[in-house]
Amino acid sequence: MRSQPVLRIVIAAAVVGLFYWALFTGSSPERRSTASSTPDAERTKQLAEESRALIRKGDYAAALGRVQALHDAYPSSPIYIDQLAIVFHHLNRPADEAAMLEEYLVKAPTPGEACPRLGLAYRASGRDDKAFDAFERCLALEPNDPDAILYLALAQERVGRTAEATALYNRGLALVPDYPDLRLGLARIVLRQGQFEKAKSAALAVLEKSPDNTDALLVAGLACLRNGERSEARGYLERGVRLAPESTELAEALAQAQAD
């Protein structure tokens, strides 16, 4: 699935773009009216440079205090809201990350950049209800964005709303016919409905272009297994396990295929 690459791209773009604005264009974020609580320009620059360097090194714990100080001084600045959300993400503090991204939605000129991170943060914090709402809001912001369609479709699929998920997957494929995660969403649905050949065909179409797609290998393996094609199923699943040994779904499916 594209979720992790999309997230990395969004975070990288946000960091580069926002720091460029803050440090090189000469424009200043909105300050608090209380001068005593606001660092001077030199201190602000120092904090921004230090936090950028620490984030680049991956030392998010050390960066936190500096980013928090910048956010406290400039609470309306989407630069520091977004940067604080990124730090919380890497510190595995999803509830705090979600709170920052909610601020970003309100204060940023491009609120869609909080998506799909907001929904993913709520899900990681155990708030599936808020995750679902966030994915709906993200799609409302960008109704023709295939990623936004995908994440809401996945949320619908997770709770068993098959008709809604199917409609969303088809809606996304009408925009991007070769989007593999949308194709595989439909494949999973027809697999659960007992349409094994249809599911297998969809998975193989993805594998033809992306032979290392582990989601497609899982769907193909399960479709073959449930259709009685045990040997073929093992081939797909063994390859999937080699590529993603941490996947419990692939390991469990392979165990089934290897059982007598």
In a domain, 96, yes or no: yes
Stretch among 24-33, 40-49, 93-102, 242-251 having the lowest mean pLDDT: 24-33
DSSP conformation class of 1: -
Question: Is 133 part of a structural domain of the chain?
Answer: no
In a domain, 221, yes or no: no
Write out the two tokens for 228.
């009685």
d(CA 105, CA 118): 9
Instruction: Find out whether the peptide bond into 39 is cis, omega within 30 degrees of 0.
Output: no
Q: Which two tokens stand for residue 136?
A: 């709906």
CA dist 245 and 258 (Å) reads 16
Q: Please tell me the distance from the alpha carbon of residue 86 to that of residue 56, in angstroms, as a whole number.
A: 12
Q: What pLDDT digit, counting tens, does each position of 72-117 carry?
A: 999 999 999 999 999 999 999 999 999 999 999 999 999 999 999 9
> Is residue 87 situated within a structural domain?
yes
Tell me if 107 is assigned to some domain.
yes
Count structural domains, the chain: 1
Supply angle C-alpha 220, 9, 99, rounded to 5: 100
Sign of the four-CA dihedral 125, 185, 178, 252: positive
> Domain range spanning residue 52?
1-30+37-114
Is residue 25 over pLDDT 70?
no
Cα separation, 109 vs 208, whole angstroms: 41
DSSP designation for 107: H
Of the candidates 135, 178, 141, 175, the one whose C-alpha atom is nearest the C-alpha of residue 159 is: 135
Is 227 part of any domain? no
Cβ proximity of 136 and 119 under 8 Å: no
64 close to 70: Cβ distance less than 8 angstroms: no
**pTM of the predicted structure, to 2 decimals:** 0.79
Residue 15, domain member (yes or no): yes
170-228 tens-digit pLDDT: 999 999 999 999 999 999 999 999 999 999 999 999 999 999 999 999 999 999 999 99
Read off the CATH number of the domain in which 62 is found. Answer: 1.25.40.10
Structural domain contains residue 170: no
- Residue 259's alpha-carbon distances to 224, 243, 246, 256, in angstroms, are 14, 21, 20, 5
Lowest mean pLDDT among 2-6, 54-58, 62-66, 96-100: 2-6
